[in-house]
Every structure is written in structure tokens, then in C-alpha cells.
Amino acid sequence: MFTMMNNARLNVGMQGVGIAERSLQQSFAYSKERKQGRHYDGGSNNSVNIIEHPDVLKMILKMESLTQASRAICYDNAIAIDLAKIIQIKIRENKQLKADLLTPISKSWATDVGVEVSSLGIQVHGGMGFIEDTGVAQYYRDSRIAPIYEGTNGIQAIDLVTRKLKISDGLAVKNFLNEIKETSKRCSEKMIMTL
């Protein structure tokens, strides 16, 4: 039963990622086509694409970073679920701990990202985003249910804090933090080599 629920929760998290991605793509395309106002440096009297306005660009970049980060955590969760099925018992146990830890995070954070990114998509579209012609208002409505079903995000938080963080005396969290440190170290070393 819990295997089915955990897979369903990850799927709902991926729904949040999908809605965020679609809202991002549409908003990015719109921002490159929609002309409004002059360039902020005042160098021209011609209208510019709205992506050239700092606030719109900031929203697009935020949408992109949130979408990519939520996708990454869900993918990492899915990999852990898959690797928890392999034969070597030590690897299987560690990956199951990781899957158990990441499932409530994937579900709740990715669905919250779907809501936030689709809301930003409406903002990028301005008044056009609020009416039905663009479709971005529908993304927001579609995203809003995801934090509610398959265990509300509040319930996911309670599960994380009261159960998942305590598994094996916090071993899942310790392992995950060590993995983050190792990844950060490798990334830092690669960045230094490129300089």
C-alpha cells in the first residue's frame, strides 16, 4: 500500500513540474513576442519585447530555476525508488531510506512550485494572463489541486518531520546531506578547473 502511495505522491510532484514547465514555456515565448514600453536605459523611443524589462526577465529566470530544481528533486527521488529494488542489500536499504525521505519533499515542494510558477506565468502575461484566451489562467487552476490531493502538503510536512527525519536515527538525512556535500565538492572542483 505504501509503495503505491509513495509512487502516487511522486507522480503528483511530477504533475507540479509539468505544469510549471508548460507555464514557463508559454510565458517565455510570450515575453519574446509581446512589445510594451521603452527600454529601461531610455536609449530608444521604440517599444521593446517585455523580456527586456528587468522585472519580467527576473520572473522568467525565477520560473526557470524553480522548475529545474523541482524536476531535479523528483528525478533524484525516482532514481532512489528504482535503485531500492536492486539485489545488493546495503545499496537497496540506503536507496530506500533516500526514497522515503524525498517522497514527501518531492510531492509538496514540486506542487508548490507548480502553483508559484503558474502564478508568475499569469503575471508575465499581465492582464492577458487573467483572461481565458491565453490559457495560462488554466495552468494556475490545474496546479492548485496538486498540493491538496494524495496527502495535503501540510500532511506531507508532518510526515517528514515526525517520521521520515527520524528513520534509522536520522541516517537518511545524514546520508543525503553527505551526498549534497560530495556533489558540491565535485562541482566546485570542476568550476575551478574551468577558470
d(CA 87, CA 93) in angstroms, rounded, equals 10
CA distances from 71 to 14, 78, 177 (A): 7, 10, 19
Q: Mean pLDDT highest for which of 39-43, 45-49, 114-118, 150-154?
A: 114-118
pLDDT of residue 3: 67
Segment 86-101, tens digit of pLDDT:
888 888 899 999 999 9
With cut-offs at 50, 70 and 90, classify the pLDDT of residue 107.
very high
* Percent over 70 (pLDDT), the chain: 98
Q: Catalytic residue at 150?
A: yes
**Pick the residue with more confidence: 43 or 120?**
120
- Which of the two residues, 185 and 40, has the higher pLDDT score? 185
* Model confidence at 128: pLDDT above 80: yes
Domains and CATH numbers, the chain: 2-167 (1.20.140.10)
Q: Could you tell me the sign of the dihedral formed by the alpha carbons of 145, 150, 155, 159, in that order?
A: negative
The pLDDT, as a whole number, for residue 2 is 61
Identify any residues that bridge with 35 across adjacent strands, giving them in sequence order. Answer: 49
pLDDT at 131: 86
pLDDT at 42: 80
Instruction: Name the nearest CA neighbour of 180 among 76, 92, 89.
Output: 76
Least confident piece of the model among 104-108, 141-145, 183-187: 183-187
Question: In the prediction, which pLDDT does 115 show?
Answer: 98
C-alpha cell at 150: 494524495
- Mean model confidence pLDDT for the chain: 92
Among residues 21, 52, 116, 150, the one annotated as catalytic is: 150
